[in-house]
Amino acid sequence: MRAILTALSAVFLLAACAVPNPDTEDQVPLGDFKLDLNVAVTDKASKMGVSRTATAEEWEKVLEAAIDKRFRRYDGKKLYHISYSLDGYILATKGGRLALAPRSALSATVHVWDSETKTRLEKRSKQILVLEQLDGETFIGSGFFNSKDQQMQNLAAQFAKAVERWLVSNGDLFGQDVDADAKAAAEKDDLQALAEKANLEAVPDADVAPLPAGGGTTN
């Protein structure tokens, strides 16, 4: 949990490399997967450090829209539903020095359910941390150029893509072989790796609120 707090607070100061736009990437195979229910739980999320405020309803709407956009295109033969709880977020503000490039971020715990048996795949839960996509403007801080809605949509798209990478890396769940490249890509999303990167590159100086207890990270 300390690693999660460190990572979330530190990304507010972190200026990392550009992240690809997930909406321009090709669809990857996902076996027999077909999305049934898409459930976001957002009422327990903690606002981390200095951040714009978003309501639970706003987060629910933008996250569910992003998951629908990415996963409704899959037309497998077996129904699954995805549930996820938003643990914490940062929506960068206009404050601070431009050189620090304040970044937006969110952390959420994701679960996959078998719709037919109504059981959760307990060993396949994951806590995901995503940073906003960088471009020529957000490189010096999205709070200076982007609205709250733009930041949330950016994060939601990155989150949906991270969920997809994680599911593809667990392809055995959906009747296909586990792709080594997909497994490696999902491992790069691991919270601990991001926390260690944040510890090396930035020192948080903002007060942070504790995150609600969430599931661990398993692949």
What confidence tens digit (pLDDT) does each residue in 6-24 have?
A: 555 444 433 333 344 555 5
The pLDDT of residue 42:
97
The pLDDT of residue 82:
96
Its pTM stands at: 0.75
Residue type, 139: F
Q: How would residue 205 be classed by pLDDT, with cut points 50, 70 and 90?
A: very low
Question: 118 CB contacts (<8 Å, ≥6 apart)?
Answer: none
- Token output for 146: 């982007």
Residue of 186 and 111 predicted with greater confidence: 111
Closest by alpha carbon to 169, among 134, 204, 124?
Answer: 124
The pLDDT of residue 66:
97
User: Mean per-residue pLDDT for 172-187?
Assistant: 77
The pLDDT of residue 134:
63
The CA distance from 173 to 195, in Å, is 28
Q: What are the pLDDT digits (tens) for 111-156? A: 999 999 998 876 778 889 888 876 544 444 454 567 899 999 999 9
- The answer to whether 206 touches 5, Cβ cutoff 8 Å, is no
**Cβ count within 10 A of residue 218:** 12
